[in-house]
Structure 1
Amino acid sequence: MNIEDREELISHLEKMLESLKFGSITLVVQDGKIVQIEKNEKVRLQSNKKR
């Protein structure tokens, strides 16, 4: 991985991390190289039930 690719990867990861409150970021690797980044975000809804 060259420096430009590494900087682009780090930039994408930083942007994803800044916007993520709950969830995960997955790096997909093929032939020893990162080919995809996936962000899975969880949104928790509060119940409106009154007891």
Structure 2
Amino acid sequence: MGEKTARKNNQISEQYIKEILQSLKSINYGSITLVIQDGIVIQVETKEKIRLK
């Protein structure tokens, strides 16, 4: 599925989903923010927190 097709259908491309899942797998503590514009994900922000004992 190309980017233009994904935009027309307001769907997230498979590559973007893989990147989001990779971000989820790579952090233990933190947050992932999806930035959406006109119904389209345009940015993924990953913030990781490091817990000190």
TM bucket normalised to smaller: 0.7 to 0.9
Determine what percentage of the aligned residue pairs are the same residue.
43
CA distance in 2, matches of 1:24, 1:37: 10
What TM-score does the superposition give when structure 1 sets the normalisation length? 0.74
Q: Which runs of 5+ in 1 are unaligned?
A: 47-51
- Number of residue pairs aligned between Structure 1 and Structure 2: 44
CA RMSD in angstroms comes to: 1.4
Kindly report structure 1 stretches of 4+ aligned residues shifted beyond 2 Å: none
Shift in Å at residue 41 of structure 1? 0.6
CA distance in 2, matches of 1:23, 1:12: 16
Matched to 1:26, the amino acid is: T
